[in-house]
């Protein structure tokens, strides 16, 4: 009898754990932990255009992060500045800053585009249900917000860009 009770308890515990952990899709799941542990989506190939590559985009991290399996490593010097803002009460975290588009072969005339839970397919950030990210090579800026609630990650403004959709420090 004790064995059955123990087995039932273990099964329930496993179900609870599995239901609260989102399945990380290799190369499509990012992490936004701090200014020293972060990821962003970029075109899957060096020199790709942001809007042309939205469905094939991959996660790139500043270093290997266990919750971002099979993420590529950002090119050295690509992220020139990073500013983190966290709103714990509202359930979101964001990073904003400057990039050096040349480090990944991005074009100076590329206006960029928006990545979110629909593009790329399967894209996500560990611990968050929603995200919105812009990479704007023509302005040499990027922004990312990961959210627990949809209303804090507006994805209905894909042409508005970082400064209008995700306020923050872009120095």
Region of 144 on the Ramachandran plot (φ > 0 left; ψ -120 to 50 alpha; else beta): beta
Prediction pTM value: 0.85
- Condensed to tens digits (0 to 9), the pLDDT of residues 24-51 reads 788 999 999 999 999 999 999 999 999 9
Beta bridge partner(s), residue 169? none
Domain boundaries, the chain: 2-165
Q: How many residues in total does the chain contain?
A: 171
- Condensed to tens digits (0 to 9), the pLDDT of residues 127-153 reads 999 999 999 999 999 999 999 999 999
């Amino acid at each position: 009898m004790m064995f059955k009770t123990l087995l039932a308890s273990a099964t329930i515990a496993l179900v609870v754990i599995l239901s609260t952990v989102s399945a990380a899709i290799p190369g499509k799941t990012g992490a936004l932990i701090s200014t020293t542990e972060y990821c962003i989506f970029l075109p899957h190939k060096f020199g790709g255009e942001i809007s042309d590559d939205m469905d094939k985009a991959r996660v790139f991290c500043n270093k290997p992060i266990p919750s971002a399996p099979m993420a590529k490593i950002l090119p050295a010097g690509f992220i020139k500045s990073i500013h983190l803002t966290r709103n714990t009460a509202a359930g979101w975290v964001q990073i904003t800053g400057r990039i050096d588009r040349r480090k990944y072969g991005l074009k100076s005339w590329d206006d960029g585009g928006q990545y979110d839970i629909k593009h790329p397919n399967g894209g996500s950030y560990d611990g968050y249900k929603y995200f919105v990210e812009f990479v704007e090579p023509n302005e040499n800026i990027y922004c990312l917000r990961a959210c627990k609630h949809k209303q804090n990650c507006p994805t209905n403004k894909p042409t508005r860009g970082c400064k209008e959709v995700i306020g923050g420090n872009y120095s």
